[in-house]
Amino acid sequence: MPAKNSKVSVVSKPAMAINEHVVEIISDSGEGAQKCGQSFASIAAKMGNGIWTVEIIPAEIQPPARSIEGASGNRIRLAADRVTNGGDKANLMVAFNEQVLLGRLHADELADGAIILLESKWRTDPNAAVAKSYSNVYERLVADGFKPIEVPMETECLKLVADARRGKNMFVLGLLCSIYSLDMQLARDQISTIFKKKSAKIISANHSLLEAGYDWAEANLDIKFKIPTTPAKEPHIVINGNTALGLGVMASGMEVCAMYPITPATSASHYLSDVFKNVGGVVHQAEDEIAACAFAIGSSYAGKCAVTITSGPGYSLKQECIGLAVMAEIPLVVINVQRGGPSTGQPTKPEQGDMLTAVFGSHGDAPKVVMAATDIEDCFYSVITARRIAETFNTVVVLLSDAGLATAQQPCPRPEFSEDWLAPPIDQSPVEDGRLAYDWQLQTGRVNRIIPGQPNGMHTVTGLAHDRRSCVAYNLTVNKEGVRNRSLKLAALQKTLKTPPVFGDDTGELLVVGWGSTKGAIEEAVQRVRNDGYSVSSLHLRFIQPMASGIKEILQRFDKVLCVENNWSDDMEDDLITEDNRRYSNLAWLLRARSLVDIDCWGEVGEQPIKPGTVERVIRDRLAPRAINKTAPNRAAAGRH
């Protein structure tokens, strides 16, 4: 449907009310689709829409122009209510060229009947091959039942600026403001904010582009939507998961972050490098991840609890150091922003593949705390909690996030700072006579650490097995005492954990269990099938080790339990796979061992966070043999294993 070529006449059309949409803006990298998408999301959020944005990032810094793999941009889910995940396929796609669009088509990211807005300049490209490619894709879209709308982005932008490549994104922002009935004043303000370091001339040019896009859409498009808004009554912050981690580090009172660059963790350190000094903190870029971890341990040992931030390969390198911190009982926070593995794997893609490595990593018996952040807000508070646990129990706390949370943005309530979040000032008071370096407490295994600078507390910590004085253990019973006490600490922490709440009914036919970043998608899927009368609930874990009490009892109240995770598990449909040789998903392994419940699992190691629609399909598949029971009776007594 080539656009009508009518003159600009700004008469607002009636808008169709919808509840939510998933919008994608994609371009070659460097064309600013990211900035356009983020601005679009910010404006919608300010108006009071629920939003969740996902970055679409090519693997290379400068992928070839007009290439399928080069698609760069942003996916924005906007809705009337709060959203907790990126949603399903895109309902509207703006593409700066047909190749990047093809990439999204191949990835099966377009919903049936999705609206496609395509830059039309390629149709008449002087390079015949380009023009041909464009018309081929266009025809394919039409054949697939889409109605692509061609937009002369370049032509329109050139009326205002000399280099359309640098202005198209704001033109598109204007288009989207018209299509989704967004507040143009907010859009103008947004532009003034993002270009605030630029000249007034640049800001005004971008305002013009915005308005041109808006006017063009008003004059030429028949589509207009309105998603109801509920303006927030409380202040909210719009941040991504890695910024939330960085803010959490600042708010936790930690002073030292030692790191080595690695995708997708780096942006947390980038952010901290910029602002940590404002609270007196320092980011040390070490020579490698081993050094980063050792540096953090040194700092923690000297009384300044430190954090090291990394991802898969770097996390592997830290294992020996993590064991040392466990052994010497030195507090340490390790953040692993998981990516696709193993090895270099898929640096920019999310995966929840490191849970078991986190739980069982290092060597020997190295008990450590493992937490997983469930959403953006949780990234912030988890760091604060991690620091506190690390210092209370003098141990390692591993906090798992992933590439999905790292770049996803969501509005969350603005945190209210509390001094309780901070570590108390370091103790430099003299140590009373007779107090030992490891005064393991009988009930909890805890020790009161002695910090360098404390008179009368001199001792040498060691990674060798040691006794209460921290002297190298040359006899076996001494080693056993240390092993027991370090393990006991996790049990003591476990006693303080609340049983996680069940989402949905307490009993039923199927319980879906997840952990970390999949919470939003799983709960949305469960809600959808519950709306259809299915007896399905879900449970979501944040503490992986230790695991709160009461979980086994919950599992036992359901007929079936299914772990849904963003990691690999063998598919029982595969010929070779049997109960005997099946490799389960990470959490399923752990929960089966802990609860003796025969837990099933489903996992995906895709290119993106798990979608609610996918989880929904999996749930329906698992329940397929059963008819829908709209009026499910109380099943409290049923289905015990």
Partner 1 sequence: MAVRATDLLLSSGDEEHTLEEYEGRMPRWCTGCGDLAILAAVQKLCRDKQLNREKVVFVSGIGCSSRFPHYMGTYGFHGLHGRALPVAEGVKMRRPDLDVFVNTGDGDCCSIGAAHWMHATRYNMNMTVMMHDNNIYGLTKKQASPTSPKGTRSNTTPRGSDLDAFDPLAATLGMSNLSFVAQAVDWIPELLYKIIKQGYEHRGFSFIRILQRCPEFMPNRFEACVQDPDKLLLLTHKNGIELSPGLAKVYKNQKEHDPLDLVGAQEIAGTSERVPVGILYRNDSVPCYEDLRQPTELITPQLIRKGLETELDKFTIWPSD
- Contacts with partner 1 by CB under 8 A lie at 45-46, 231-239, 243, 247, 250-251, 253, 255-256, 258, 275, 277-282, 284, 286-288, 290-292, 294-304, 306, 320-321, 324, 328, 411, 414-415, 417, 419, 422, 452-464, 471-472
Q: Are 447 and 90 in contact (CB under 8 A)?
A: no
Q: How far is the CB of 186 from partner 1 (least distance, A)?
A: 10
Q: What is the DSSP string of 160-219?
A: T-S-GGGTHHHHHHHHHHHHTT--HHHHHHHHHHHTTTS-HHHHHHHHHHHHHHHHHHHH
Q: How far is the CB of 608 from partner 1 (least distance, A)?
A: 24
User: If 0-12 CB within 10 Å is exposed, 13-18 middle and 19+ buried, where does residue 1 land?
Assistant: exposed
Q: How far is the CB of 619 from partner 1 (least distance, A)?
A: 34
Strand 256-259: give its sheet, edge to edge.
282-285, 256-259, 306-310, 332-338, 396-402, 369-372, 543-545
Q: Are 9 and 79 in contact (CB under 8 A)?
A: no
Distance in angstroms (rounded) separating the CA atoms of residues 39 and 30: 16
Q: Looking at beta carbons only, is 7 or 197 nearer to partner 1?
A: 197
Cβ neighbours of residue 284 closer than 8 Å, sequence gap 6 or more: 256, 257, 258, 259, 292, 295
Q: Looking at beta carbons only, is 280 or 625 nearer to partner 1?
A: 280
Q: Looking at beta carbons only, is 89 or 284 nearer to partner 1?
A: 284
User: Which residue's entry shows tokens 């319980």?
Assistant: 511
Cβ neighbours of residue 50 closer than 8 Å, sequence gap 6 or more: 20, 78, 79, 80, 81, 82, 83, 411
Q: How far is the CB of 411 from partner 1 (least distance, A)?
A: 6
User: Which residue's entry shows tokens 């097995």?
Assistant: 465
Q: How far is the CB of 510 from partner 1 (least distance, A)?
A: 38
Distance in angstroms (rounded) separating the CA atoms of residues 510 and 518: 17
Q: Are 332 and 263 in contact (CB under 8 A)?
A: no
Q: How far is the CB of 23 from partner 1 (least distance, A)?
A: 19
Q: Looking at beta carbons only, is 257 or 564 nearer to partner 1?
A: 257
List the structure tokens of 559. Answer: 């007929």
Q: Looking at beta carbons only, is 429 or 629 nearer to partner 1?
A: 429
Q: Looking at beta carbons only, is 30 or 298 nearer to partner 1?
A: 298
Distance in angstroms (rounded) separating the CA atoms of residues 468 and 345: 43
Distance in angstroms (rounded) separating the CA atoms of residues 88 and 109: 8
Dihedral angle computed from the Cα positions of residues 59, 248, 372 and 316, in that order, rounded to the nearest 10 degrees = 60
At 313 the three-state DSSP class reads helix
Q: Looking at beta carbons only, is 340 or 457 nearer to partner 1?
A: 457
Q: Looking at beta carbons only, is 154 or 320 nearer to partner 1?
A: 320
Q: Looking at beta carbons only, is 253 or 603 nearer to partner 1?
A: 253
Q: Looking at beta carbons only, is 35 or 620 nearer to partner 1?
A: 35
The strand ranges marked E within 235-368 are 236-240, 256-259, 282-285, 306-310, 332-338
At 109 the three-state DSSP class reads coil
